[in-house]
Chain A
Amino acid sequence: MEFSGAVDIPATRDHVFAFVTDPNRVGACGPGVESIEVIDATHFRAKAKVGVGFITARFVVDLEITEQRAPDMAIIKARGQAPGSAVDALGRMNLVDGAEPGTTTMLWAAEVNLSGMLASVGARMVEGTANKMIGQAFDCMRAKIVAEG
């Protein structure tokens, strides 16, 4: 599955970049995230509970920032498992100056591969669920960045 979009955030690129590359700050916006463990500056482990249709699974996801260039871009790779299900994802983010001074537009794209039980029995609902979760995650990030001032 491939997703992409653009999000306008009323904050500077430096601010947005610092926020989204800090697992302790961005982590709380991840869908269903229950805990974040920082292994080192570029490796994290998240536990998240995800529901698709009538199935709920608790994933353990290893995340790695494989490339970053502050305050312009970052690439993050994720691989996670829940009993009977697995997820592999690659996300890419580019930050550009927004139309208004002091604002940022985040251009993002993600390729998500879901395998196993969730993909099999939740197939018809996966894409819709993923879109909803992505929307919620960006809403959350924007709100938190604005709140940080």
Chain B
Amino acid sequence: MTTETEPRTSAAIGGMGHSVKRKEDPRFIRGAGEYIEDVVLPGMLWMDIVRTPYAHATIKSIDASEALKIPGVLAVITGADLEKAGLHWMPTLAGDKQMVLPTTTVMYQAQEVAAVVATNRYAAADGVAAVFVDYEPLPVIVDPHKSLRPDAFVLRPDRGPDKANNHIWHWESGDKAATDAALAAAEVRVSEDIYIPRIHVASIETCGCVADWDAVRGQLTLHMTSQAPHAIRTVLALVSGLPEQNIRVKTHDIGGGFGGKVPVYPGYVLAVVASLTVGKPVKWIEDRSENLQADSFARDYHIHAELGATKAGKITSLKVKTIADHGYTDAAADPSKFPAGLFNVITGSYDFPNAFVEVDGVYTNKPPGGVAYRCSFRVTEAVHAIEQMVDILAHDIGKDPAQLRMENFIQPEQFPYKTPTGWEYDSGNYGVALQKAMDMIGYADLRKEQAEKRARGELMGIGISSFTEIVGAGPSKDFDIIGIKMFDSCEIRVHPTGKVTARIGVQSQGQGHETTFAQIIAEELGFDTDTAPYGLGTYASRSTPVAGAATAMASRKILDKARKIAAHLLECAEDDLDWEPGKFTVKGSPDRFKTIQEISFAAYTNHPQGMEAGLEAVDYYDPPNLTFPFGSYICVVDIDKTTGQVTVRRFVAVDDCGNIINPMIVDGQIHGGLTMGFAPALYESITYDELGNNQAGTFMDYLLPTAVETPRWETGKTITPSPHHPIGAKGVGESATVGAPPAIVNAVVDAMWHLGVRKIDIPMTPQKVWAILHEKGVA
């Protein structure tokens, strides 16, 4: 581990380690971003969607006659219309299938039932209200445990008689027999049920698109707000039968993605069908309630965990059984071989030999679940469970939770470390990160204060989370989504004037890609960051670990060629050249040099004979392993006994994401991530009544913290570079969202442990905390 190092490049070049200001901010700050709602095309029509009030019902008939009488309403599209063209079902990224529009049965409240196309948004809305659908309600299943019962109503008869149940898949990892034996032999066992509720990313920009079918050219342009435009293009080609090269998916600025804008929603397909039908551009924009009720959701994991340890607190074994509520279809964007994502990273930062994890995916009458919430691939769920279990163990044996962690951490010399569930952690130095967090927050003094307060009857708690993240999916031998390998790419072209255009394979959702990728090129080649504008984007998160590596590798290919040109220009051997960012110098002759700009010009005007002109390179980077960022967070809470209100008084976050490209952007990512970890810990959850009605359909019921509620974050860092990544970076966008919730939960439980409280599920609302305090006779 190292701490801060001086940047290798000058501030003028602005390579790695410089807090270069984000190129995209001026347009965002001035309100000059271009979001999907800003797209207005000549002759554009509007589409609005009829949605079912019932969570499960048979459709007896749909009568659109009254809607079609409304001035401005041009068409009403139903499932029967789509069925004629075979468009009523579409594939999901998880290999399941999803209805575009139902022909016989609706599966969740607010599911799309018909689309109304009109000349303006108001007429479209009036049209929606006038479409009459005759339903026959069916039994509703909202509880995945009930869904698994043998007598449960089969929700997806379309899967055929062989699958006459609601079980989607079973996935397991680790050694069951060894884990059972270790648990049986353990001196101490801790067993808990932990539920992580359904939550929604609630991007401020809802989903939407403008579909523009050009019948003359046979081309479809889809303007949309998507994190995965290439995947959308592939699915659209599969569903519509249009040749993929005739489909263009154009993504503008994105007003928040976080995983919610990866899936293909029926609205997109309907807008395309509408444009194909009427021959004009068609815009569809979700309203807030549609967004909160019908998009794909995150989490919804029912976890049962058992932890075995010695009396002294050395962890020996972990066994986890989980029910994953996927709603009516599995539309998660997990890699194909990992239906429960990377959930088996659940052994966390700890060194123990035995673990067994199993997950069962289950259908219910809810919208699709299992998409990301600023953490793809179920790492949040894993960290949430292990970090709580470790704290409960510490309390049970009367050991300080920080001390217990220190005694169980994988030690720096053990890396690369093979976990009992098969991951190979590339690097880590967990004890140093936790010690730094403890020093920053003044841990020992806080424990003294807590003891004094407890003696006075006040409720104060301190919670720790020492998480290990797993990002940068992934090596192509294991990672693909519907067959598409999860490599990523970068193409760099240096122009004769010494300016650079780069095209990367990842889509920015506001993370600052335009800036950080330019900085990687600046670091590698010495072009100042202003000259490295960025173009086209495509796939999901994983940006720095995979596309960042591709950018560095492509830069290095360019540097190899630049060296040859420099040797030619300086009339020396390549070996006689020294490189520093921005120029090649002849060894021992500091006045004999060529700048990268001069070399760029020469690449087109005076390159060596036999060499191709130009200075460009492409790299498809297939990562050899994932990267494993980590951190230690400590949270201090005070609980108001009379109201149950939890106040986060202090929160220290020490993150290690390897080498840092732009410290300011990393800080911003951590602040945002912490806030998105704080939110589900205390506020957010989507619940359903027994009829399957979503109980959080507006921001009045789905509570988002604002700047007023959000605590002041105190951040620190350690730097443990990834040994296999070209620039030693690891990725940071999700770490804080993953690490923060258990720190807050552990703090709240710590405040109430002496009252007999072992566990509390998120969100820890005042009602929930007050009810516990009341039951314990405190409130």
Residue numbers of A with Cβ under 8 A of B are 81, 83-86, 88, 113-117, 119-121, 123-124
B219 at the A/B interface (Cβ < 8 Å)?
A: no
- A86/B289 contact (C-beta < 8 A), A116-B109, A120-B110, A123-B693 known: no
Q: A116 contacts which of B52, B129, B701 (Cβ < 8 Å)?
A: B52
Q: CA separation between A123 and B132, bound complex, in Å?
A: 24
B293 at the A/B interface (Cβ < 8 Å)?
A: yes
B55 at the A/B interface (Cβ < 8 Å)?
A: yes
Inter-subunit contact B689/A123 (CB<8 Å) = yes
Q: CA separation between A86 and B136, bound complex, in Å?
A: 11
Nearest CB of chain A from residue B105's CB, rounded to whole Å: 15
Starting from the known contacts A114-B693, A119-B689, A123-B689, 12 additional A-B residue pairs (CB-CB under 8 Å) come to A81-B53, A83-B129, A86-B53, A86-B54, A115-B54, A115-B109, A116-B693, A119-B693, A120-B694, A120-B697, A121-B697, A121-B701
Please list 17 pairs of residues, one from A and one from B, whose beta carbons are closer than 8 Å in the complex, sorted by A's number: A81-B133, A83-B130, A84-B51, A86-B53, A86-B54, A88-B137, A114-B691, A114-B693, A115-B137, A116-B110, A117-B289, A119-B53, A121-B700, A121-B701, A123-B689, A123-B695, A123-B701
Inter-subunit contact A81/B132 (CB<8 Å) = yes
In this complex, the member of A86, A117, A120 whose beta carbon has the largest number of chain B beta carbons within 10 angstroms is A120
B135 at the A/B interface (Cβ < 8 Å)?
A: yes
Q: CA separation between A84 and B52, bound complex, in Å?
A: 6
Nearest CB of chain A from residue B767's CB, rounded to whole Å: 12
Residues of A within 8 A of B133 (CB): 81
Inter-subunit contact B51/A120 (CB<8 Å) = no
Nearest CB of chain A from residue B127's CB, rounded to whole Å: 10
Nearest CB of chain A from residue B63's CB, rounded to whole Å: 12
Nearest CB of chain B from residue A52's CB, rounded to whole Å: 12
Q: CA separation between A86 and B51, bound complex, in Å?
A: 11
B100 at the A/B interface (Cβ < 8 Å)?
A: no
Q: CA separation between A70 and B55, bound complex, in Å?
A: 37
In the complex, which residue of chain A has the Cβ closest to the Cβ of B694?
Answer: A120
Q: CA separation between A120 and B694, bound complex, in Å?
A: 5
For chain B residues 683-726, which have a beta carbon within 8 Å of chain A?
A: 689, 691-698, 700-701
Q: Which 9 A-B pairs have the closest CB atoms?
A: A116-B53, A83-B129, A120-B697, A119-B693, A86-B53, A115-B53, A121-B697, A123-B695, A120-B694
Q: CA separation between A120 and B291, bound complex, in Å?
A: 13
Nearest CB of chain B from residue A87's CB, rounded to whole Å: 9
B392 at the A/B interface (Cβ < 8 Å)?
A: no
Q: CA separation between A80 and B291, bound complex, in Å?
A: 25
* Interface size in chain B (residues, C-beta < 8 A): 27
Q: A124 contacts which of B129, B135, B691, B701 (Cβ < 8 Å)?
A: B701
B128 at the A/B interface (Cβ < 8 Å)?
A: yes
Bitwise, B274-308 to A at CB < 8 A (1) or not (0) is 00000000000000010001000000000000000
In the complex, which residue of chain A has the Cβ closest to the Cβ of B695?
Answer: A123
Q: CA separation between A113 and B139, bound complex, in Å?
A: 12
Q: CA separation between A119 and B691, bound complex, in Å?
A: 9
Residues of A within 8 A of B692 (CB): 115
Residues of B within 8 A of A121 (CB): 289, 697-698, 700-701
Residues of A within 8 A of B55 (CB): 115
Residues of B within 8 A of A114 (CB): 691, 693
Residues of A within 8 A of B700 (CB): 121
Residues of B within 8 A of A88 (CB): 137
Q: A120 contacts which of B129, B132, B137, B693 (Cβ < 8 Å)?
A: B693
Inter-subunit contact A117/B697 (CB<8 Å) = yes
Residues of A within 8 A of B130 (CB): 83
- A85/B691 contact (C-beta < 8 A), A117-B289, A121-B697 known: no
Q: A113 contacts which of B110, B293, B691 (Cβ < 8 Å)?
A: B691
In this complex, the member of B53, B110, B698 whose beta carbon has the largest number of chain A beta carbons within 10 angstroms is B53
Residues of A within 8 A of B51 (CB): 84, 116
Q: CA separation between A123 and B692, bound complex, in Å?
A: 12
Inter-subunit contact B128/A83 (CB<8 Å) = yes
Bitwise, B313-350 to A at CB < 8 A (1) or not (0) is 00000000000000000000000000000000000000
Q: CA separation between A63 and B52, bound complex, in Å?
A: 21
